[in-house]
Amino acid sequence: MLFASGGSLYSRFGLGDIQYASSALAAGMGGAGLALADSRYINRVNPALLSVLKETRLSGDFYYAKFLGETDFASASQASGGFYGTGIAFPVSGFVFSAGLYPYSLCNYQQVESGTISTVEGTTSEYEFTYEGSGGLSYVPLSIGLMPLSSERFGNIRLGFSLNFMFGTFEKMAKSRYDDYSFEDSDFEANDHLTGQTFTAGFVYESKVGLFSESDQLSVGFVFNSSDKLSADRETIISASAGTDTISTSNSVVKLPESYALGFGYVVNPQLRFALDASFQKWGDFTYFNEDVSYAKDAKRISFGSEWTPSQNKRASWFKRQTYRAGFYVNQSYLTVADEDINEIGLTLGMGFPISDVSSVVDINMEYAMRGTTANGLIDERIFKIKISLNAGEKWFLQPIIE
- DSSP assignment letter at 402: P
Query: Which residues lie across from 224 on neighbouring strands?
Result: 201, 260
Alpha-carbon distance of 160 to 278, in angstroms, equals: 19
Does residue 27 register a pLDDT over 50?
yes
Instruction: Give the pTM.
Output: 0.90
For the segment 320-337, the average pLDDT, to the nearest whole number, is 94
Does residue 399 register a pLDDT over 60?
no
- Please tell me the predicted confidence (pLDDT) of residue 3: 46
Domain annotation for the chain: domains and CATH numbers:
2-394 (2.40.160.60)
Does residue 7 register a pLDDT over 80?
no
Q: Is the dihedral of CA 344, 365, 19, 96 positive or negative?
A: positive
- Please tell me the predicted confidence (pLDDT) of residue 51: 97
254-287 pLDDT, tens digit per residue, is: 999 999 999 999 999 999 999 999 999 999 999 9
User: Across 69-78, 82-91, 106-115, which has the greatest mean pLDDT?
Assistant: 82-91
Is 351 within 8 Å of 364 (Cβ atoms)? yes
Sorting pLDDT into bands at 50, 70 and 90, what band is 124?
Answer: confident
Does residue 146 register a pLDDT over 80?
yes
For the segment 299-324, the average pLDDT, to the nearest whole number, is 89
| Beta strand 380-394 pairing with 360-372 | antiparallel
Nearest partner of 258 among 298, 295, 231, 215, judged by Cα: 298
- Please tell me the predicted confidence (pLDDT) of residue 357: 62
Nearest partner of 23 among 345, 381, 303, judged by Cα: 303
Q: What are the b/e assignments for 189-220, b being 16+ CB within 10 Å?
A: bbbbbbebebebbbbbbbbeeeeeeeebbbbe
Amino acid at 234: R
Least confident of 19-23, 58-62, 147-151: 19-23
- Please tell me the predicted confidence (pLDDT) of residue 401: 47
- Please tell me the predicted confidence (pLDDT) of residue 4: 45
Could you give the dihedral angle defined by the CA atoms of residues 300, 301, 302 and 306, in that order, rounded to the nearest 10 degrees?
A: -170
Nearest partner of 25 among 306, 333, 342, 264, judged by Cα: 306
357-397 pLDDT, tens digit per residue, is: 658 899 999 999 999 998 988 889 999 999 999 999 877 65
Nearest partner of 163 among 205, 104, 226, judged by Cα: 226
339-365 pLDDT, tens digit per residue, is: 999 999 999 999 999 986 658 899 999
Least confident of 47-61, 75-89, 95-109, 225-239: 75-89
